[in-house]
Structure 1
Amino acid sequence: MTGAPITADRLASLTTYREVVQQPAVWREAAETLAARSDEVAAFLEPLFALPDLRIVLTGAGTSAFAGEVLAPALARTLRRRVDAVATTDIVSNPREMFAEDVPTLLVSFARSGDSPESVAATQLAASCLTSVHQLVITCNPEGQLAREHSGSNSSLVLLMPSATNDRGFAMTSSFTSMLLSAWLALAPDQDPRLAERLAAAAEQVLGRPDELARLTGRPYDRIVYLGSGSLGGLARESALKLLELTAGKVISYYDTPLGFRHGPKAVLKDGTLAVVYLSNDAYTRRYDHDIVEELRAAIGSENVLAVSAQSDDAESWQIDGVSDVDDAVLTLPFVVIAQLLALRFSIALGRTPDNPFPDGEVNRVVQGVTIHPLQP
């Protein structure tokens, strides 16, 4: 780390920072937009939910895939039916395995641009491999190929996010959280009508505590471990990716579950490690989260462990108020803001450019170089 000060002016000059900060506002807008289309959404989904053998597949690539990983466990429990998170990259490379069961399927596609080759190909492969498939497309780009191909189709519904969520920065931030929130509001029944407002207020708490982030990014960490259970496991994976992307791989990141971490991956711990643990709102799961937090504090020191919590049972945690009763799937939203800001600040401290951490094009905002091969009969 260079240790250079990260000023408010420096942050404000960055597109990525502005897109992180705008999230409370765009969540409110996304919820209002979805509410205005509630009758249309219900007319599309209710006949499908009436099918006892309906399979729901949540798909996307990279960060968009992790939206599915966050939502799948919670939706399976809430809807009491099969919900699978399957990346488009897995569908495209192995469509016959991913769609091995020819059952009625709702394919939910998450896509910031909607122009990634795998995003488009996954929807086409689903249609060719399955007898009955409906498509819910959640995207930030009305001009993207995915939105254009599915608009107007009787078997598809396109949900467009607020225009500001089509992030111009390299890394997905407000696009990820807005699509995740919209999917939860559309698919999960009986939501608190104030849920989006409560989540936005929680995120504003995070944005109002820059000193805590400055303390952490002022230390010479060269690796960060993110841990979370269930839906928060998907969050841990997204958090690790954000750090890897924005620091261009200069800070090593790792993700796991609190229980899984002990089975070998704990070997990653050394001097210079920061561990971030996302504590579940589920009382049973939370007991395991607390166990790993205490173990990590003993192993690497409390000052190198950041426990993030919506509860008040751990005095040393970063506590976020007002969301202690929400599902872990949407607790992800205020929690991930911490990971986004950490990645952004570490990137600056390392002298990188967060809006374009790969100026030579080694990694691109919209993936390039993918050839979609025809599926042989």
Structure 2
Amino acid sequence: MFCLFCCKEMKYFCPKENNNKKMKDNQFFTYKEIMQQPKMWLKVYELVLQQRVGIESFISQYTDRNYQIIYTGAGTSAYIGNILEIVLSESNFRGARSVSTTDLITNHHAYINENQPVLLISFARSGNSPESAGAIKIVNTHCKHTAHIYITCNKEGELAKNADKENTLLLLLPPETNDLGLAMTSSFSSMLLTALLVANIQHIDTQLPYIQSLTLKAQKVLSTYAPIIREIMKREFSRVVFLGSGELKGIAEESRLKLQELTDGKIVCQFDSFLGFRHGPKAIINKETVLVYLFSGDEHIRRYETDLVKQINTNNKVTAQIIVSETPVKTTGIKSDLEVIFSEGDSPSIYDCIPYVIVAQLMGFYKSLEIGLNPDTPSVSGNISRIVEGVILYDNL
């Protein structure tokens, strides 16, 4: 395919027509929403702290009894649950399951014990997606005893408007987190942080140092590493793979979606665990691939991760390799084009996974611009939209 304007072979869009590249980064909602995250996290902490008594009272009613706890949402909002399922496995939320609203609607019998009460924790940026309302209706219809926690960013959304019930706790996030860009960025990280703080509500007054450390880590990525990420995104590549273990596999899942959304599917993205990647998915690697390794802070887990990366370095030629880690990866046989290290020398905490996602958010933003798209509305075809459309909910037997 050749461009009529510059007569050059065109892989994506003609650079001479690309007005988005002429705009400053801060003219895009998506950029501002990525950059505002450290500030939003401090606001989220204050919000949860102020509601401590009500949250603690509500939570104790259901975590001390035999309630099934289910995290739910769709797309990015569902991935929050996938992360929490691992991170909170040793908390009051032990045994909680992550089930997307889309799965609850089509196959609720596979996930819900109708004879056991349910605490449904719903995540939603807008609170207006049909699946959010549908999943809540299904749980209320098929379970005798239900309770709900709504974590949302939009006070005008249907979720927030229907939260005035005795069995429902509404946690409404700062309005700035209701991202105006298509891709969820600050909404994702802020809802994830909210859930982690709720699970740790009994110790909320001691958590500020951890949140302050979290913001410093994010600011380090946004200031120190963003320019390097931008340069790497100028390279030509067609595939990106994100790898992570445990809760970082959930971050890898969200990272995959972020880059794929912001490039309108022009860049094909995949995620997996380090160990799982060997079992077939590794076939995706070619010379047009960028690999992003989300290294665990656990030394035992990291041994498995470094083994895979050494194997890739030995056997494969790729476009670039990016390491993201709390601490430096000091292993021979591993090369990288960028090593993002954000440790502040503090003790590990349940919040440590959050800054990892910022790398993918920046990658997506910069690659979107590089290939001629508007990061706020990257879907040229209209295949995806900020709020999902076209879903018809049918009566469930």
TM-score class normalised by the smaller sequence? over 0.9
* Paired-residue identity, %: 35
Match of 1:193 among 208, 218, 230: 208
CA distance in 1, matches of 2:384, 2:209: 39
- Could you tell me which residue of structure 1 aligns to residue 233 of structure 2? 217
- Could you tell me which residue of structure 1 aligns to residue 255 of structure 2? 239
Contact 1:140–1:165 (8 Å) recurs in 2: yes
Aligned length: 373
- Could you tell me which residue of structure 2 aligns to residue 140 of structure 1? 153
CA distance in 1, matches of 2:355, 2:95: 27
Task: Point out the more displaced range, 344-353 or 100-109.
Answer: 100-109
- Could you tell me which residue of structure 1 aligns to residue 281 of structure 2? 265
- Could you tell me which residue of structure 1 aligns to residue 357 of structure 2? 336
Contact 1:222–1:272 (8 Å) recurs in 2: yes
Matched, 1:371 2:392: yes
CA distance in 2, matches of 1:242, 1:162: 22
Match of 1:33 among 40, 47, 56: 47
After superposition, the CA RMSD in angstroms is 2.1
Contact 2:130–2:391 (8 Å) recurs in 1: yes
- Could you tell me which residue of structure 2 aligns to residue 292 of structure 1? 308
Matched, 1:155 2:159: no
CA distance in 2, matches of 1:359, 1:8: 19
Q: How far is 1:128 from its partner?
A: 1.1
- Could you tell me which residue of structure 1 aligns to residue 8 of structure 2? none
Matches within 5 A, 1:44-63: 44-51=58-65, 53-63=66-76
Structure 1 counterpart of 2:392, one-letter code: T
Structure 1 counterpart of 2:341, one-letter code: Q
CA distance in 2, matches of 1:353, 1:299: 37
TM-score scaled by length of structure 2: 0.89
Q: How far is 1:55 from its partner?
A: 2.0
- Could you tell me which residue of structure 1 aligns to residue 127 of structure 2? 114
Flag the 1:103–1:283 CA change in 2: closer, same or farther, 3 A.
Answer: farther
Q: How far is 1:10 from its partner?
A: 2.4
Q: How far is 1:54 from its partner?
A: 2.6
Matches within 5 A, 1:63-102: 63-79=76-92, 81-100=94-113, 102=115
Secondary structure, in 3 states, of the residue corresponding to 2:88? helix
Q: How far is 1:360 from its partner?
A: 4.4
Contact 1:102–1:131 (8 Å) recurs in 2: yes
5+ long unaligned stretches in structure 2: 1-10
Secondary structure, in 3 states, of the residue corresponding to 2:89? helix
Contact 1:202–1:323 (8 Å) recurs in 2: no
Flag the 1:23–1:80 CA change in 2: closer, same or farther, 3 A.
Answer: closer
Q: How far is 1:121 from its partner?
A: 1.0
Matched, 1:318 2:320: no
Q: How far is 1:104 from its partner?
A: 2.5
CA distance in 2, matches of 1:27, 1:323: 20
CA distance in 2, matches of 1:323, 1:86: 35
Contact 1:279–1:308 (8 Å) recurs in 2: yes
Secondary structure, in 3 states, of the residue corresponding to 2:24? helix
CA distance in 2, matches of 1:212, 1:322: 20
5+ long unaligned stretches in structure 1: none
Q: How far is 1:301 from its partner?
A: 5.2
Contact 2:287–2:319 (8 Å) recurs in 1: no
CA distance in 2, matches of 1:72, 1:370: 27
Task: Point out the more displaced range, 295-304 or 2-11.
Answer: 2-11
Secondary structure, in 3 states, of the residue corresponding to 1:333? coil
Q: How far is 1:7 from its partner?
A: 7.1
Q: How far is 1:190 from its partner?
A: 3.9
Flag the 1:341–1:105 CA change in 2: closer, same or farther, 3 A.
Answer: same
CA distance in 2, matches of 1:80, 1:354: 36
Task: Point out the more displaced range, 110-119 or 40-49.
Answer: 40-49
Q: How far is 1:134 from its partner?
A: 0.9
Contact 2:263–2:373 (8 Å) recurs in 1: yes
Contact 1:297–1:305 (8 Å) recurs in 2: no
Q: How far is 1:304 from its partner?
A: 1.9
Contact 2:287–2:317 (8 Å) recurs in 1: no
Larger radius of gyration: 2
TM-score scaled by length of structure 1: 0.93
String of CA shifts for 1:271-310, please: whole Å, max 9, x gaps. 1111101011222222222222222222335872211100
- Could you tell me which residue of structure 2 aligns to residue 275 of structure 1? 291
Secondary structure, in 3 states, of the residue corresponding to 1:107? strand
Q: How far is 1:323 from its partner?
A: 6.5
- Could you tell me which residue of structure 2 aligns to residue 180 of structure 1? 192
Structure 1 counterpart of 2:357, one-letter code: V
CA distance in 1, matches of 2:230, 2:383: 29
Flag the 1:283–1:101 CA change in 2: closer, same or farther, 3 A.
Answer: farther
